[in-house]
Amino acid sequence: MAYIETRLSAKDRSFTHKYESSTRYSSTKFEILIIDYLKENAYPVWRLRVIYCSDDDYLNITSASFILNGKKYTFSGIADKDWYVKDDDGYAEQVLIRFGMDNIDFLAALEDIFGDTEDVTEVAENATCKLILHGREDVEVDLGEGFSLDFLVIRLGMVNINGLDFLEKAYSTTMKITDVD
C-alpha cells in the first residue's frame, strides 16, 4: 500500500477543544490510500483521519458531524477500538472516514466553501467548517485554514491521478445529511 498526503504538520492542521492535550495536537488529516499499489489494477481511496488528543480521557467517538453551508453531514461507524492510546502524555484516539460516491455531496460542499483548487494558497479567508465529535459528550470545534488547505491539496492529488473516476470503487463511510436549524 502507498499513501499520498500533504507535508502539513499536525500543528498546522490542528484544532483546539476544551479537553485539549498539553502534549499533543488534535488534528484532521486528508490522505489518499493507493489500493494494490504497483499493480495494474491500483486505485486511490480518499480518506480523512480525525485524531483527538486529551489530557482528560477518551471521548469514545462514535460519529462525527461537519456543518457546512447550513447542512450537517454526519458520518457514523467510524470508531475503532484499536486506535486508542494511553500513555504518560495523555489520551489519543483516531477515527477514519472513507469517501466514495455516497459522500459526493459532502466533498462538493467542501469544495464550494474552500474555493477553486487551481490556487491552493488562496484559501478563502472567511471559509468556516465546524466539526462536532460525538462520544461520551459532543465536542464542537472550528476547523481552520490548515483543514481547508489540506483538503485542497489532496483534492488536487485526486484530480491529477484521475482519482475521482474511482470514487465508485471505494467503500464509503455511512453519511446522513440534515438541515441545520
Give pLDDT tens digits for 67-123.
998 899 999 999 888 899 998 889 999 999 999 999 999 999 998 887 665 665 665
Q: Which residue has the higher pLDDT, 37 or 32?
A: 32
Q: Which of 172, 146, 133 is nearest to 5 (CA)?
A: 146
Coil/strand/helix, residue 131: strand
- Cross-strand pairs, 44: 34
Q: Which residue has the higher pLDDT, 4 or 163?
A: 4
Q: Which of 104, 82, 71 is nearest to 181 (CA)?
A: 71
Q: Which domain, by its residues, includes 132?
A: 2-179
* Cα separation, 65 vs 134, whole angstroms: 8
pLDDT given at position 121: 60
Domain count, the chain: 1
Alpha helices in the chain (DSSP H): 104-114, 145-160
* Cα separation, 145 vs 127, whole angstroms: 8
In this structure, the number of other CB atoms found within 10 A of the CB of residue 181 comes to 5
Torsion of the alpha carbons at 50, 51, 56 and 62, rounded to the nearest 10: 40
The type of residue at 88 is: D
Query: Using an 8 Å Cβ cutoff, are 141 and 133 in contact?
Result: yes
The tens digit of pLDDT for each residue in 122-179 reads: 655 556 789 999 999 999 999 988 898 899 888 888 887 877 788 888 889 999 999 9
pTM, two decimals, is 0.89
pLDDT given at position 62: 95
Coil/strand/helix, residue 5: strand
The answer to whether residue 53 scores a pLDDT higher than 90 is yes
